Each structure stands twice: as C-alpha cells, then as structure tokens.
Amino acid sequence: MSVFAGQATTPGSVRQIPGSRASPHPAPAARTADAVWFVARHGVLPWVMLIVTVVCAAVLGMRGAPWRGDLLWIVDWLPIGHLAIAPVVAGGAAIDIARLSVGTRHLEDIRWWRSPGSVITLAYATGVGGTYVTAMLVAAVIDLPPRLDPRALLGVGVQLLMLALFAALGTLVGRVLGPVLGGVLAAILALTAIYLLSARTEHIALLYAGASVVSRVGRSYDVAYLGSQAGLLSGLVVALVLMRPGVVRGRWRRAGERSVAAIAVGAVVVAAFVGPSSRLTHTDTPPDLCSDVVGVKVCLYAEHARLQGEVAAQLSRIFDGARAAGYDDLVPREVREVPSSGVTSWKGPQILLDGPLGGGAVDVETLVQDVVIPYHCMDGSGETSDYERFAADALALQSTWLALIESEQPSVSGPAGPRLTPQDAARVMADLRACGESSR
C-alpha cells in the first residue's frame, strides 16, 4: 500500500492520511495542510529543499556578491541558479507523485485542487518557494537596500510561479512513469524548458527572470510584462494539474480540461509575439548619495555606498592633477553615476561602476574615460553621427588628462598621443559635452 494512501502501523491496522474518504472530515484548509506536511515527511521534498539551499548560496556567493544593497538586483540575480533548480524540483516532484500516489485512484475524482497531484505541487511550491524566498531575505539582510520598490514583490511572485510550474510538470510526468524514469525525464524536460524559454526575447519569454549580472539601479519592473508572465504561468500550472492520465472522467470534464490546456499553451505562444517588449522600465531616478570631492559634487546611487570612499579618493587625484597643471576648465562642477543601461536624462559628466561592483578596483583610467566621454551622445550601438572624429577627440583628451597625473600615480598608463594645451583641452571638452555640435 502506498504511504500516500495510508501507512500501516501494525499488521491489520491502517492509519488513513488526510484526504482519504475513511478519514474524519476536518476543515478543507486543515486537511490540505496535513497532506502537504505528509508529503514533506515521506517524500524527497526535504532533500530537494536542501539542494535548492546549496544552489542559492552558491549563486549568491558568485563574483564577490555584487548585488549587495540593490533589491531588484537581488531578485534578478538569484534566477541564475534556475538552470540547476528547475530539474531538481521537477525531478523530485515526479519521484514523489510516482511513489506516494500508488493506490490513490479513489482520490482522483474529488475536486482537482485537492487531488494527490495538486497536493504535491502545493507542497513543492510551499517548501521550495519558502527556501527560495528565505535566500532572498538573507541576501537583503546582509546589506539592507536603502529603498524598497513594491514592484519587487511582483518579481518574486513570478519566480515562485516558475518553481510551481516545474513541480507541476514533474507531477504530470511522474503519473505516467515510475520514480526513476519519471524523475529523470521530468528533470530533462525542465532543463529543456529553461534552455528554450528563459532567454530574453523581443516580447514575453515565459521563464525569463532576469538572471542579471549588472546593477538594476535606475530601473524598475514593468507591471504589464510581469503581470502577463504571472497569468501565463498560473494558467500552465492549472492545466498541468488538471491533466490526470489514467483517471476516468466524464466526456465534458475531459473536454474542459483539454480546453484549459489549449488556451494556456496558446496564450504563451501569442504572448511571445505580441506581448510587452521589456520586463524593466527606466525610472530616471537621480543618484542621491552626494559628497564634495575637492569642490566637485559627486553623486552615487545609495545602493553603491560601499564604493563611495574609493571613488572619491580616485576622483580627487584626477581633479587635483588637472588643477595643478593649469587645466582647471577640465574639472566639472558635478559628476553623477548613471545606470548600467546608460539611459539617463543627465547630460553632464558621468561614471559607470559596473567593474568595481563586480569586485574590480576603481580604476583611474576608467574614471577619466567616463568623465570625458559623453555617453548621452551615443546611439543604441554605442556610436555617434561623426564617430571617428568624436573618438579621436575623446582619446586625445583622455591621453592628456592621464598624462597630467602620471607623476603622482606612475602606475597609470594612458593611450599615447600629443598632449593638448589647456585651451585646446577646454575646447574639446566643451565640444564633446555638446555632442560635437559646437564645432559644426
């Protein structure tokens, strides 16, 4: 007899599990909770949760944990582990449905949301989802984000639905095949789904969850995109749970279940061609962590406060070197950090901190390049209308500025080229800031 149908305690006596018709009739919520706890006690769910914990810890420790302090980046960083989590969840659910549902066909004609497949899907969604959310909370506590974006909850919810989808897929496969073959095939199918449906596309990709290695500051989630994903994922989970191979049902009920499956799959296909184009929106929120660096206002995003001291020290050398050599016009009044996407309304000197956030040093040469090059002038391909002249002017100015601080910082080496005079350097800087318009 299956442990899902009942567990023998002594010869001739059988303890009925929650949901069995021979059981008393407690409240539905209590009966479902007992069944979920039964799966956790007798299935492989605890081992799956342990593996998910290890995967999450490994993912969070990658690249020096650059996500610290950035809430949206934490939410988008953890899906890097979906490649390992998806097959484990699907495989574990397939094993449990194959082992624990033997002898429970008498339960299949009750309400579908209280069938063995639904219970196991719910158990995995609860157990694995709880483990997943705990990992996110631990990451957030390590370095508390300075601001909370309510849309992050929607992003987390979509990822939890993805985990539920992997579990539902496993229960469907496990109904048909045995524990070993069902577990292996379910894991392969989940891995294939991640490979095919998790890459970013022009519209909605069902399993795309970010998996980002760049900061998310200056951006938020697009409600239409994530809302559509949530609807599609929910529809597929319901369709997979409704499909109960081998269970005798009425003709109209079978037709209804097939219709649900067809609608769910059709919606995924349609959304891939006509859905929203981006899961992120640009907020154009200016950096608000500002400090005075030798008379220059330098503003970073509060999420990157840990880099403020190092950035200020290197910019101080750059600005002091220019002033000491008589190139005062090169020193700006204000410098701002801009998002990794480069999309911003700020037209003044900008700095990008992708490298330092990933564990690299705050490089003087890179900072000079950032201050010199007006990224707002470039198009989507990173070029301008007169790219060759623009690049030559930027290179000459960068070379000049680096040469000014070589005596104080011998390790800095810039591109070779003739040094511009203070007047020429000021003219080139003004022309670059105006995207070349002032010289036309």
At residue 407, the pLDDT reads: 53
Across the chain, mean pLDDT equals 82
Report the alpha-carbon distance of residue 197 to residue 82 in Å, rounded: 12
**Segment 6-19 mean pLDDT:** 39
Single-letter amino acid, residue 101: S
pLDDT tens digits, 152-210: 999 999 999 999 999 999 999 988 888 899 999 999 999 999 999 988 888 899 999 98
Single-letter amino acid, residue 435: C
Least confident span in 8-17, 240-249, 309-318: 8-17
Q: How many CB atoms lie within 10 A of CB 345?
A: 9
Report the alpha-carbon distance of residue 128 to residue 36 in Å, rounded: 12
Least confident span in 144-153, 243-252, 264-273, 323-332: 243-252
At residue 377, what are phi and psi to the nearest 5 degrees?
A: -85, -15
pLDDT tops 60 at residue 145 = yes
- DSSP structure class, residue 80: G
pLDDT band at 404 (very low <50, low <70, confident <90, very high): confident
**Residue 434 near residue 399 (C-beta atoms within 8 A):** no
pLDDT tops 80 at residue 11 = no
**Residue 19 near residue 108 (C-beta atoms within 8 A):** no
Give Cα separations from 230 to 135, 201, 330, 345, 364 (angstroms): 21, 17, 50, 32, 44
At residue 223, the pLDDT reads: 94
Q: How many residues can be counted in the chain? A: 440
How do beta strands 219-221 and 280-282 pair? antiparallel
Burial class (CB in 10 A: 0-12, 13-18, 19+), 242: buried
pLDDT tops 80 at residue 291 = yes
Residue extents of the structural domains in the chain: 6-282, 289-439
Token pair 């390590």 in the structure block, residue: 142
**Residue 245 near residue 179 (C-beta atoms within 8 A):** no
Burial class (CB in 10 A: 0-12, 13-18, 19+), 214: middle
At residue 150, the pLDDT reads: 92
Query: Which residue would you say has higher pLDDT here, 76 or 388?
Result: 76
pLDDT band at 32 (very low <50, low <70, confident <90, very high): low
Q: Is 77 helix (H, G, I), strand (E, B) or coil?
A: helix
- In 234-293, where do the E strands start and end? 280-282, 289-293
At residue 270, the pLDDT reads: 92
pLDDT tens digits, 309-362: 999 999 999 999 889 888 888 899 999 998 887 677 788 888 988 888 887 888
How do beta strands 296-300 and 289-293 pair? antiparallel
